[in-house]
Chain A
Amino acid sequence: MKQILEVRNLHKVYPSGTHALKGVSFDVYEGEFLVVIGLSGSGKTTLLKCINRLEEPTSGTVRFLGEDITHIHGKHLREVRRNIGMVFQQFNLIKRMPVINNVLAGKLGYMKTLPSILGNFPPECIQEAIKNLEIVGIKEYAYERADKLSGGQQQRVAIARSLMQSPKLLLADEPVASLDPATSNSIMQYFEKVNKELGVTVICNLHFLSLVRRYASRVIALKNGEIVFEGSPREIDEKWFKTIYGEEAEEVEIR
């Protein structure tokens, strides 16, 4: 298996003094569906943002496809970011724009500044956008305003936007945390589809263990900025659960 991401001894200290990551190291291999679990505030979001450098790591290294990307900047950084898609908990669409423009925004890294600002997307880009909307099953909403859509539909737009980047790696930061259980499951199925059918490696932060067991090929668990568990989802039993989520925690089943 080819290694796609290598994270070594990653630290992140925020200016406020919060020590969010304390020496995190792990590897990700091509085609994996890696799920990161842990309580809120355990450093999951910071970890993802340090990978595509939305946050600057304080120390440690991140290697993407064998290349050290911890300190690159400018054009080089933007070219690396093109290959790493990202989906967020709050969808982060441009609310006042039509769905199709939101999807096309995923292509910005490949476009020259002037045509992209004038909105001159080449026809093949637009076709690709429609195709990606078809993959997530909301082609018919292409010309609706993004904020007219439901939460689940908006998240599907966000997935389509990240697919425009033709990513090698897809980061998903609690993509279903603001959705209801039924919609959560359907969104996770789209991630599975992207992972299995398009061959995109996925790193996904999740809360619900039932979803983790159903979709993850491997799991790492963060607690207070440190990795406390690494292994297959089947290995997470009652004991591990208490270690990760604390003694008072009790598993709730969602279907």
Chain B
Amino acid sequence: MLEPELEFHPREKILKKRKNQEKINLIKAILLDIFFVFYTILVLQRAIYYKVILDLRELPFSWTEIGLFLVVSIGIGTIWGLSRTSLGARIMGLAEETKSAKLVSEIFAWALFNLTFISGWLVTKISIIDLFSKEGIEGANRIFSSLFTPEMGIFDDALFAIIETIYLALIATLLSIPPTLILSFVTARNLMKDNIFTFSIYYVLRIILNFVRSIEPLIWAIIFSVWVGIGPYAGMIALLVHTIAANAKLYSEAIESIEEGPVDAITATGANKLQIIWYAVVPQIVLPFLSFTIYRWDINVRMATVIGLVGGGGIGTMLMQYQGLGQWHEVGLIVIMIAIVVWIMDYISAKIREAIY
């Protein structure tokens, strides 16, 4: 047998890697602890002290105060994290397994949760009195009674408006398919991770798509109604943009969760990248893609009514006009029609999705 050609010490390599990993985890744990302490101080001061104890209307704000808190929490967080008895250390799996360390982090986690719940309650201004006051109930009564006696005189207008909405949603969904397909392949980690060039494309596109998706269609509709003018076109583009970003994510996740086996098998035959994608990836994702797209049409019809409220055209715009005039009988008819259409769309898309699986 030949002598080994390459001197190789994997064990040392592995140990070194493990040590580095531990260092990184400790830094993460300390950062987490700093955040937890900072958060606790801030919430205690602003929500509990100012709001509840002093009952201030306008909360005082100063950067020096916040800076001071930050310095204090960096100090406490670092020491606490290094002692390995903190919540951060527990989350990162570095905590000591003693009873007292466990107790400390459990109590702290429980306190954090309660603090958040209480301040959330205060911020939302929950009030049972407002819900059941006399004037409140009367107002609700007035609106509900007119909603349930809809004005049939505008039925034909409303029908056309709602058809406009359905078409708008359909076109947005259909136009989204080609760009979504392309984007989904280049944002699928398992296809792009092989070399640095494709991986950086993957990374940049992921960031852009996340950004686009995090902006609600409602905001996109406002932007495009300024850009191309109020009307169904603005609504359609708004939906299109959001649909592409949202579905590219769903599609690429479907690609990432395919069975690797067939990919290995086709790779082993000597096939090239395109052939592998066509023979081993595409057959596995056709059904999920179809299902997502049909479901998205359904979602888009619902969203189209909402973005109509800000000038995206269709039934939403009409609803907005009658609501502004306080004509509640007309609003009632429109709401009932929207409910019926949404229900039908929901039913149809569910049936189609059932049928193709």
> Which residues of A come within 8 Å of B, CB atoms?
8-9, 11, 13, 17, 19, 22-23, 25, 49, 52, 54, 58-61, 78-82, 84-86, 88, 90-97, 105-111, 113, 116-117, 158, 161-162, 164-165, 171
Contacts and interface: CB of A to CB of B under 8 A. Distances in A.
B272 A96 contact: no
Chain A at the B interface: mostly helix, strand, loop or mixed? mixed
Nearest to A12: B10
B268 A54 contact: yes
Interface stretch (B114-122, B135-143, B276-284): B276-284
B291 interface: no
Interface in B17-72: 17-18
A165 to B, nearest CB: 6
A19 B5 CA distance: 19
Contacts of A90: 261
B261 A88 contact: yes
B18 A161 contact: no
A93 B262 contact: yes
Contact of A81 (B18, B268, B275, B283): B268
B17 A82 contact: no
Contacts of A86: 264-265, 268
Interface of B: 1-2, 4-6, 8, 10-11, 13-14, 17-18, 259, 261-262, 264-272, 274-275, 278-280, 283-284, 286
A161 to B, nearest CB: 7
A8 B283 contact: no
Contacts of B269: 81-82, 85, 105-109, 161-162, 164-165
Nearest to B261: A92
13 contacts: A17-B18, A23-B4, A25-B1, A54-B264, A54-B268, A86-B264, A92-B259, A92-B264, A96-B286, A105-B269, A108-B270, A109-B271, A117-B274
A81 B259 CA distance: 21
B279 A94 contact: yes
Contacts of B270: 78-82, 108-110, 165
B271 A92 contact: no
Nearest to A75: B272
A169 B197 CA distance: 34
A95 B268 CA distance: 17
Contacts of B14: 13, 17, 19
Contact of B10 (A58, A111, A165): A58
Contact of B265 (A9, A19, A88, A164): A88
A58 B271 CA distance: 24
Contacts of A11: 8, 10
Contacts of B274: 113, 117
Contacts of A93: 262, 265
A113 B275 contact: yes
Given A8-B2, A9-B6, A13-B13, A117 B275 contact: yes
A108 B1 contact: no
Given A17-B18, A94-B283, A105 B266 contact: yes
Contact of A61 (B5, B10, B279): B5
A19 B14 CA distance: 9
A60 B261 CA distance: 26
Interface pairs A-B: 4 shortest CB-CB: A109-B270, A82-B270, A92-B261, A108-B271
A78 B276 CA distance: 12
Nearest to B274: A113
